[in-house]
A and B are shown apart, each in its own frame.
Chain A
């Protein structure tokens, strides 16, 4: 269960795990409640294009796949990955047979190993030894599975299969893989690879993260860890990974009570959380305190440019939101930029005199059709501005929805205004993405409507742009602060 075992696996092994030419589900079942059925189901329904095989004691047909009783009955050289759902006692012989067929990677879901007392620990050691002898990368045991969107691979005993993207997930707990993938599915910010390390008998979280660090499909690492056996080695490895790509970590066992739960969960020894915290700061690893914070940090790394500085402008269509956002910025390491005079003068040309004249830039209802994209462009183009948080997206479409659902619709000009409102929100979302890309500065949209009504034209358009619409300005500030910390780390390292 070490987190820090130095892997001897090569890139070819990880390629076999994440981009297999063919997959065999060992222990496929005809019972739709069994893992041996569910994993085959998920594999087949995610659009995997490689060859799919199955073994089943009786050679039954499962989900249209004609299984064979034994690995020995399968062709040689067509299969890279075996997904193992058979009982622990069958697996040593299974791995030997897989070695004979040229299979290079095994994901083992079977339980009854390191987590199951002395006999299980012994069985796990044997499994590791046999995999090493056969030249097979061993993932798990007691893990949930592996996802790799570039290969449309969903070899998992659980849902979901997330959209394709650039976040690479490696977790010491399988459930957190699901949590991250659920957030990905909901927000549309996609995943490149995801794997649960299970007992991490031979391949641990840092091993997967090291593969991601050199993986062109992955832009940011996202990880859940619990306990650490050799903190110093863990630190060195995380530091090397973070030097290549942003790496976001959530750690369980941060409190005394949590540490006790972690010890019984993964058998790992807890250290002072503040030591871990300091070590991660030193390593340039982004530490998040919750799953949603971690996902949003990773999603921001995946979809926004990293800010060059910490000077933020808040752009809002209503006063109160701006005030709360300013509070959040003051409590962070970010700063609310004092608006330069030339920028004030520039914005003056687009707004009636009642606008706030300072930061937050409160448009105070003075906007006409093109104001929001135009002012946003002015702010983002100014040299002193490092990032923008834009509030107010979706309120027009929210009204449009009420109009559409009311009994006056579509008369009284309602159809036309509803279309206009929704078109405007779409424009604003698209402008935020376009201007951000052109200026190389983060522009983050935040609205609770992202959650309360995800189909609203504003948040829906943000999703279509591939970006995250933050559920609150505070969450946007937190994510942006993580990006700023990473920028500082990059500057320090260079």
Chain B
């Protein structure tokens, strides 16, 4: 029971010290803990260890099913990062990306609020320099810096009794304490998804909030339906974490994604997935 709660809501949340003006804006600073700490894993006694896809792979996979992500770019060098930032517009976020990379925040592999070409160049150079041999092949993700004062969690998990489930929860630093979540068995219908939103206790967060419009329920339901569809299409998906899903002008956008599968080669079983992996490899190789 506890492990599922933690599995869903994420592990200990690491707060960066440099900012967070929570009186006004919650600023996205990169991936929060995704709940795969050792205490959590030790409870999954019946499952063999799975494979975690990189953030970029996770996002590519889920985007196919309609999960909304930011327009972000995968780059292989600092100059490419600058070009990407010019296209996206400042400020941007830069994150080191790779299959073997976890705990990005703890390792300082997420750089926020980069407001100029120089800042992007410097930060990206440092990120590439920070990569160790253990990280394997790496790239850098450049994404627009999004501001939001509402944060949700969407995800899937595999229940020992009921099999695959999809979850919607209130996110943010108090997520674990609030534990306001709605869960359904996969597959879900559009009606199920809408009822999940209605089942959250913190309904004030769903309506118009601090000058922002109400959350578009159809769009949020769409995220849940996309997760359900992804797991139906690929039963080797053991879990998905979209944490956080930020609400920007009432629309949900997932700014981090983590997909865990049963097998190392789970995604190579389909042509599409094959192409997906190749793309990311070639990008890294460039």
A228 to B160, CA, bound (A): 10
Partner among B2, B5, B184, B196 whose Cβ is within 8 Å of the Cβ of A279:
B184
Residues of B near A270 (CB, < 8 A) are 1
A271 at the interface (CB under 8 A from B): yes
Instruction: List residues 186-243 of chain B with CB under 8 A from any CB of chain A.
Output: 188, 191-192, 195-196, 199
Chain A 238-271 per-residue mask, 1 if CB under 8 angstroms from chain B, else 0: 0000000000000000001001000000000111
Complex-state Cα separation, A281 to B1, whole angstroms: 19
- A275–B2 CB distance below 8 A: no
CB <8 Å contact, A279 and B1: no
On whether the beta carbons of A275 and B191 are closer than 8 Å, the reply is no
Residue in B2, B160, B181, B183 whose Cβ sees the most chain A Cβ within 10 Å: B183
Nearest-CB distance from B276 to chain A (Å)?
Answer: 30
Interface residue tally for chain B (C-beta within 8 Å)? 21
- Tell whether A272 is near chain B: CB-to-CB under 8 Å: yes
Contacts of B74 in A (CB 8 A): none
Minimum distance in angstroms from B41 CB to a CB of chain A: 17
Residues on B with C-beta less than 8 A from A229 are 161
B106 on interface, CB distance cutoff 8 Å: no
Given contacts A256-B1, A281-B195, contact A272 B159 (CB under 8 A): yes
| Contact yes or no, A231 B183, CB < 8 A | no
Chain A residues closer than 8 Å to B195, beta-carbon distance: 281
- In angstroms, Cα B126 to Cα A273, docked, is 46
Chain B residues whose C-beta falls within 8 Å of the C-beta of A231 in the assembled complex:
159, 161-163
Q: Quick one: which of A259, A278, A492 contacts B182, CB cutoff 8 A? A: A278
**Given the known A-B contacts A256-B1, A281-B195, A282-B188, are A275 and B181 also in contact in the complex, defined by CB atoms under 8 Å?**
no
A275 touching B162 in the complex, CB below 8 Å, given contacts A256-B2, A281-B195, A281-B199: yes
CB distance from A277 to the nearest CB of B (A): 7
Given contact pairs A278-B185, A281-B184, A269 touches B162 in the complex (Cβ within 8 A) = no
Partner of B184, one of A228, A269, A272, A282: A282
Closest Cβ of chain B to A414, distance in Å, is 53
Contacts of B199 in A (CB 8 A): 278, 281
Question: Does A274 sit within 8 A of B, measured CB to CB?
Answer: yes
13 extra interface residue pairs, beta carbon distance < 8 Å, beyond A231-B161, A278-B185, A278-B196:
A228-B161, A231-B162, A232-B162, A269-B160, A269-B161, A270-B1, A274-B182, A275-B4, A278-B182, A278-B183, A281-B184, A282-B185, A492-B191
Q: Spell out A's residues near B (CB within 8 Å).
A: 228-232, 235, 256, 259, 269-279, 281-282, 492
